[in-house]
Structure 1
Amino acid sequence: MERQFIVTDKIGDIVARFPQAAELFKELQIDFCCGGDRPLIEAIREKNLDEDEVINQLNEMYTSTQDTGKQWDKASLSSLIEHIINKHHAFLQTELPVLSELVTKILRVHGSNHQDLVKVHRLFHTLKMDLEQHLIKEEQIIFPLIKAYEQSPSVTALNEIREKIEELESEHVNAGDILKQLRKITNDYEIPADACKTFTKAYLKLAELESDLFDHIHLENNLLFPRLEQSIVD
């Protein structure tokens, strides 16, 4: 089997070339969004995984997959932005209010028996507020700047965008930290034995939120922003 990937490849670069790798990394709890700029071997060692097993599985997936999905590293910046808005921003705008109700309800009903739900409630609503502000900043300010730059490049516009990117990346790190705390507190979203349907639904949706955010942040941190940085260098 020809090896497409090696352990010294950056995690984000792997997912950019082979989007289906995201599913494997999610399963192994390897951060490919905020942690996408480091070599795969670092995450493998951090998680105490078998190096050969991970890289072999990754390459077998690549070999057996005929359709590797749309290559966003080759699409226009405007197309990538529209994809992020239509898929990932739309997901958040739909799911965040639903999750808010669920997380609040399970705290009210089960909080006396599950003290960690207080932390889950607080962390989720901090994340919700941060994300809502983040989406507005992207859609109203930063994404229009990037689209305008793509149509009419200028050094001034590029420098302005670069400053905004630093803000977004910092916000991505904060969101990633909250997601990690939520996963730890919930013991990887383990459903308690006394969980009702609402409790179960809340934890399943929190896991879905994490999965979608990882994909979302990956597209920005490892594809959209680096391409802009490359144009700065050029």
Structure 2
Amino acid sequence: MMNLLDRNATIGSVVAELPQATDIFKDFNIDFCCGGHRKLADVIAEQGINETEIYERIRLAQEVRKSEYESNKNFNEMNSLALSSYIEDTHHSYLRRALPDIAEILNTILRVHGKNHMELFEVYRLFGGLKTDLEQHLLKEETMLFPALYQDYKNQHEILHLSSDIIGEHEAAGKILEKLRTATNDYKVPDDACGTYERAYAMLEELEKDLHQHIHLENNILLKDYDPR
């Protein structure tokens, strides 16, 4: 087991070793998916985070993990076939269900509340772009990246090229998620919001959570040996 308190540890390596760290990083507003390649110590310094507090929380979480039964999958020990299959069965399947449902519910609240909440037009625009990007992204992974990883000894050049594209698309998706969170005021619904409005924002926040985990698994574990950054 790696030393998670090592100042040279990257954000992604900490999360890969200790999945519970995702909640800690969220509390400190640390990007653990697209920014997973960065050293945690550097981000702590740049964002003015209390170093003692965050490292103590990581240490405690690590101790809890050691003492409790580990029910989560050990993604680090999965080979490319197993991990890509898990990603496709779990995260790709979720997106194919969630994206059209969110598009429909956003259309509904925009028609009803858009006149009084102009920010919904921006939310609808941002989500529309994210939906289009993700739909082609899933196809690229399933038809090109994952098959190439299955036979990595034959496709090193292709994997490197695809990985660069995939990671770049992850970063673009991450930026849209940040803009959506800003446009929705951290998914805080207005006082006159109806139940459908609340459901729409809850679905968007759930999408953000799933995408963060999805991107983390790919950037920091599946493609860690092919990351051009």
Count of residues in Structure 1 that have an aligned counterpart in Structure 2: 223
Mapping of residues 165-204 of structure 1, within 5 Å: 165-204=163-202
- RMSD of the TM alignment (CA)? 1.7
Which runs of no fewer than 5 residues in structure 2 stay unpaired?
none
CA distance, structure 1, for counterparts of residue 183 and residue 147 of structure 2:
38
Q: Deviations over 1:51-89 (max 9, x none)?
A: 211111111111112227322122111000011001110
Are the equivalent residues in 1 in contact too, given 2:177–2:208 (CA < 8 A)? yes
User: How do 1:4-153 and structure 2 match up within 5 A?
Assistant: 4-65=4-65, 66=68, 67=70, 69-149=72-152, 153=153
CA distance in 2, matches of 1:121, 1:84: 27
Per the alignment, residue 212 of structure 1 pairs with 210
CA distance in 2, matches of 1:46, 1:120: 29
The alignment's TM-score, normalised by the length of structure 1, stands at 0.90
Q: Is the 1:102–1:198 contact (alpha carbons within 8 Å) kept by the matching residues of 2?
A: yes
Give identity over the alignment, percent: 41
The match for 1:160 is 158
Q: C-alpha offsets along residues 158-214 of structure 1, whole Å, 9 cap, x if unaligned? A: 101111111111111100000001111111111211111011011111111011100
User: Given that residues 6 and 55 in structure 1 are in contact (C-alpha distance below 8 angstroms), is that contact kept between their aligned partners in structure 2?
Assistant: no
SS at match of 1:114: coil
Task: For residue 25 of structure 1, report the CA deviation from its aligned partner.
Answer: 1.7
What are the Cα deviations for residues 135-154 of structure 1, in whole angstroms up to 9, with x where unaligned?
Answer: 011111111111122xxx23
Preserved CA contact (<8 Å) 2:163 2:227: no
Kept after mapping to 1: 8 A contact 2:44/2:51: yes
Give the Cα–Cα distance (whole angstroms) in 2 for the partners of residues 206 and 193 of structure 1. Answer: 18
Does the Cα contact within 8 Å between 2:167 and 2:219 map onto a contact in 1? yes
Q: Which moved more, 1:69-78 or 1:30-39?
A: 69-78
Residue pair 2:219, 2:227 contacting (<8 A) in 1 also: no
For residue 7 of structure 1, report the CA deviation from its aligned partner. Answer: 4.6
Name which of 223, 226, 229 aligns with 2:224.
226
Which blocks of at least 5 consecutive residues in structure 1 are unaligned? none
Q: Which segment drifts farther, 56-65 or 80-89? A: 56-65
Deviations 1:205-227 (A, max 9, x none): 11110111000001111111113
Task: Return the offset for 1:112.
Answer: 1.0
Q: Once superposed, which parts of structure 1, at least 4 consecutive aligned residues long, lie more than 6 Å away?
A: none
Distance in 1, matches of 2:92 and 2:137, equals 10
Opposite residue 212 of structure 1, the aligned amino acid is D
Q: Does structure 1 retain, via aligned residues, the 8 Å contact 2:44–2:50?
A: yes
2: CA distance, partners of 1:84 / 1:138 = 10
User: Residue 22 of structure 1: CA displacement?
Assistant: 1.3
SS at match of 1:94: helix
